Amino acid sequence: MADQATASAVQLPAVPAPPLAPWATDYRRSRGRLFAEAPSATRTEYQRDRDRIVHSTAFRRLAHKTQVFVPMAVDHFRTRLTHTIEVAQIARAVARSLGLDDDLAEALALAHDLGHTPFGHTGEDVLEVCMKPWGGFDHNAQALRIVTRLESRYARYDGLNLTWEMLEGLVKHNGPLVDRRGAPLARHAKKGVPADILEHDARQSLELWSYASAEAQAAALADDIAYNTHDIDDALRAGLIDFEALRGVEFVGDLLREVETQHPGLDRQRTIHEITRRLITRFVEDVIAESLRRLREHDCRSAAEVRGQSRPMVSFSPALESADKAIKGFLFPNVYRHPRIVVIRKNAADVVEHLFDRFMRDPTLLPGGRAQAAAECSEAERARIVCDYIAGMTDRYALAEHRRLFGHAPDLQ
């Protein structure tokens, strides 16, 4: 039986309908949830999705997971949680201007990094290697596992029982996974689509060949805008790069010169923030203008028509697409592979690898019900239990587990 909406003595106002463009995802036409539930008296389906994400355990853990910089080093650097909040802010801004359902865009932004491991991409790279014999590790597939299985707080089901539009948007964060004949695309071309996504797709088709909704596309681009800009901000403040290095970076160098011309002698801290805010504004305004141009050019009259296009409808213009590539091309060697970061990465990678090996060899060391479950199953199932456990850890919990099992943990500063 479906849940009953909360009974109330007072007359609740009708759910306010946001003004939606024809290409928006209409919450009144959601394809619904795997487990049927009565509608909320006060919230749209996507507002409920957003609220379920915010109240999840996986969401709270983002506060103590590394984005790029190990957060204990300096309190002002981004964590996965502050990154996620910035992505949500940008996604809402883009969605609102395009006439999209900004609650759906926000919910997808808040959920987009739930599948990330401790220690940023370092943890993911290690788990990917450790899990190679048993289907690998993919953070989008892990996000799907979390919201469909691993969160175990609701009485009637595992996961958060999100709408189809949320699940579709999460797995297609990087675009379609397969072509129209079912052949895996892009990063899935080599290893195939992760088993968890295929399993869910067999139960409830996520139409892996199509683009996701415009709201999901907005959330994905908001992710790029947020980390391009905040990684420059954090790297400047960490002293990994300086203004001189930025002068040669397409677009960013122009903004730095613009700030210097408009505000001669401005102090370093304010200059950094002026660059950051201008970067976000220019990227956001560019995405809004280019996406409106595409949606009109393709004459998209529904969310289905957005999905059916052969390219994304929410996009940077060619000029800022080139700037986006230039920024990423600069950040990779100069920040993500900076010698100071490389040392921390190595130590963090060792922590994850040691934990995985130890738990695989002796599953009785796993806490709670996991030890028994891991003792009574196949090696592949045990590997997935260990992988889920480690992937869910915060940075400091992983270090504490390393200390518990090995008597010491590296100082990741």
Summarize as ranges the residues that interact with Mg ion (CB under 5 A). Answer: 113, 223
| Smallest separation, CB 226 to Mg ion (Å) | 7
Q: What is the closest distance, in whole angstroms, from the C-beta atom of residue 362 to Mg ion in the complex?
A: 34
Task: Tell me the two tokens of residue 38.
Answer: 């009565």
* Nearest distance in Å: CB 316, Mg ion: 17
- Cβ-contact 323, 251 below 8 angstroms: yes
Nearer to Mg ion, 49 or 223 (CB): 223
**Nearer to Mg ion among residue 173 and residue 382 (C-beta):** 173
* Residue with smaller CB distance to Mg ion, 113 or 215: 113
Q: Which class for 350: exposed (0-12), middle (13-18), buried (19 or more C-beta within 10 A)? A: middle
CA distances from 321 to 84, 94, 218, 327 (A): 22, 16, 15, 10
Residue whose Cβ sits closest to Mg ion: 223
In the complex, minimum distance from the CB of residue 228 to Mg ion, in angstroms, rounded to a whole number: 11
**Please, what is the minimum distance in Å from the beta carbon of residue 303 to Mg ion?**
23
Residue 223: CB minimum distance to Mg ion, A: 4
Is residue 156 exposed (0-12), middle (13-18) or buried (19+ Cβ within 10 Å)?
exposed
- Which lies closer to Mg ion via its Cβ, residue 303 or residue 391? 391
Supply the minimum distance, in Å, between the C-beta of residue 173 and Mg ion: 9
Query: Residue type for 384, please?
Result: R
Q: Is 213 within 8 Å of 307 (Cβ atoms)?
A: yes
Q: How far is the CB of 91 from Mg ion (least distance, A)?
A: 11
Q: For residue 79, which phi and psi values (nearest 5 degrees)?
A: -110, 175
b/e burial code for range 230-268 (CB count within 10 A of at least 16 → b) = bbbbbbbbbebbeeebbeebbbbbebbeebeeeeeeeee
Dist CA 314 CA 324 (whole Å): 15
Closest contact distance (angstroms) between CB of 179 and Mg ion is 26
167 in Cβ contact with 116 (< 8 Å): no
- Taking the least distance from each CB to Mg ion, the nearer of 65 and 145 is 65
* CA dist list (Å): 412 to 75, 229, 315, 343: 14, 24, 37, 9
- Rg of the Cα atoms in the chain: 22
Q: Please report how the helices 45-54 and 164-171 are oriented relative to each other, as an axis angle in degrees rounded to 10.
A: 60
Given the complex with Mg ion, which of 108 and 341 has the nearer CB atom? 108
Which residue lies nearer to Mg ion by CB, 103 or 113? 113
With residue 238 as reference, give the H or E element that holds it. helix 214-238
Output the smallest distance, CB 215 to Mg ion, in A. 16
Residues 263, 222: Cα–Cα separation, whole Å:
28
The C-alpha torsion from 118 through 124 and 129 to 131, rounded to 10°, is 80
Count the neighbouring beta carbons within 10 Å of the beta carbon of residue 224.
Answer: 17
Q: How far is the CB of 244 from Mg ion (least distance, A)?
A: 29
Q: Which is nearer to Mg ion, 108 or 351 (CB)?
A: 108
Residues with Cβ within 8 Å of 132's Cβ and at least 6 positions away in sequence, in order, are none
14's tokens: 């009708």
- Residue among 327 and 374 whose Cβ is closer to Mg ion: 327
Nearest to Mg ion of 113, 151 (CB atom):
113
Q: For Mg ion, give the closer residue by CB, 113 or 401.
A: 113
